[in-house]
Amino acid sequence: MIETDRPEALLTRLHLTAIRDQLDSLLDEAARAQMTLREALLFLAEREVARRDTRRIQMGMKFARFPCVRTLEGFDFEAQPSIEPGQVRDLATGRWIGHGQVLLLLGPPGVGKTHLAIALGREAVERGYSVLFSSAAALMAGLTKAHAEGRLEEKLLQLSKPKLLIVDELGYLPLEPAAAHLFFQLVSRRYERSSLLVTSNRPVGEWGQVFGDAVAATAILDRLLHHSQVLTIRGDSYRLRRPRSRPRNDQPTGSIPDVVRGSVLRVA
Ligand code: ADP
Ligand code: MG
């Protein structure tokens, strides 16, 4: 008898590992439920697909390198009336990513730009899109380093692969003089092929200053804004308005945000 006569061996060859690993219990369950052969086949196939989806999502989340977990369920839309929940729900479907469009999330610090960027990134992973998250500072540093080491082409290729590239916090830190040109090359590579989500605390009118080069900024914006949605979030930082339910001794004492929060609340 050849080894492949054992169902486990055949299932291994077919890469049906979820069915293989739980074969006895799945067959018992199908028998208990008195499934027809067709129903049992469907039941087994569904288990295999469910395991693959779980694995794919786990891998995708790891690959994306999100700095923390933020979800749409965890986003308080009532606290943020300048955002239309319907528009965010629509963005969560990922259709814009399928079309290689650009999403700009603009607004002052603390209004939830990074939260929404991560949450939309997670939704995209769950829908099967490859995602990579990077702070603008790390992205620019990576491009500058690759350029200096003669590996720019390789780096651009690597950054062109994910279907959605999230560039967080453009404009917080001044960019190196060469960064505008390098970022332009990245944007051009991805243009109309794959999506970009950029968050910034600076309105696009100030991007000339952000990049330190008005011509490069115009060229970058020309591509970014061509097929884009711009979500401008207004209001105060969520950190300052959120009522604190944690016990006092749970908070870092004397940190600057606490001091700011205290003074703002007293004024309000
Ligand atoms: P930004 O990127 O705009 O500076 P963040 O997304 O980092 O702001 O938000 C600051 C903190 O406040 C984060 O911990 C974030 O999860 C939280 N936050 C901001 N807005 C909301 C909101 N509407 N609902 C829930 N949490 C929020
Ligand atoms: Mg942020």
pLDDT in tens, 143-174: 999 999 999 999 999 999 999 999 999 998 88
- In this predicted model, what pLDDT tens digit does every residue of 52-105 receive, in sequence order? 999 999 999 999 999 999 999 999 999 999 999 999 999 999 999 999 999 999
Return d(Cα 189, Cα 129) in angstroms, integer. Answer: 18
Cβ–ligand 1 contact at 60 (below 6 Å):
no
Q: At CB < 8 A and 24+ separation, what contacts does 263-266 make?
A: 264/240, 265/240
Cβ–ligand 1 contact at 92 (below 6 Å):
no
Which of these, 110, 94, 139, lies nearest to 239 by C-alpha position? 110
Distance 112 CA to ligand 2 centre (A): 7
Which of these, 48, 61, 78, lies nearest to 119 by C-alpha position? 61
Cβ–ligand 1 contact at 75 (below 6 Å):
yes
Distance 135 CA to ligand 2 centre (A): 9
Cβ–ligand 1 contact at 238 (below 6 Å):
yes
Cα separation values, 186 from 150, 154, 191, 194, Å: 16, 12, 8, 11
Over 60: is that where the pLDDT of 266 sits?
Answer: no
HEC-encoded secondary structure of 178-217: CHHHHHHHHHHHHCCCCEEEEEECCCHHHHHHHHCCHHHH
Domains of the chain: 3-58 (no CATH), 65-239 (3.40.50.300)
For ligand 2, a single-atom ion, the residues with CB < 5 A are 113-114
DSSP letter assigned to residue 93: T
Structure tokens that stand for 114 in this block: 């990074």
